[in-house]
Amino acid sequence: MTELFPSIVPADSTYSATELNEWDYPVIRAVIAAHDTDDVNGKSTKLEMAAWLSGRYDTDTLDRMQAKAQELAPKDDADYSEILDEAEGLGPWQ
């Protein structure tokens, strides 16, 4: 069987925006804060943040990032860049 457009089919599973939208708001906001992007920020809706994250990382990486964000999110002086340490390298669109 011939593969059509293999570059648009993710090799690893990832979460959809709907699934990521189920995360607690402070957690998804912390994950977004770790990224240097102008596309989304703390004023973006939760669904906008979820849509931006969807497909950027595989599920295992997102799970690790979520766990780290849960540790850091309640703290006002948290260094959210630590969340990206869980990513073992940035996603393909970074």
Distance between terminal CA atoms of the chain? 32
User: For the ranges 9-13, 19-23, 60-64, which has the lowest average pLDDT?
Assistant: 9-13
Q: What is the pLDDT of residue 72?
A: 87
Check if the beta carbon of residue 72 is closer than 8 Å to that of residue 63.
no
Instruction: For 31-45, write each residue's pLDDT tens digit.
Output: 999 998 999 988 899
Check if the beta carbon of residue 19 is closer than 8 Å to that of residue 69.
no
What confidence tier does 3 reach under pLDDT thresholds 50, 70, 90? low
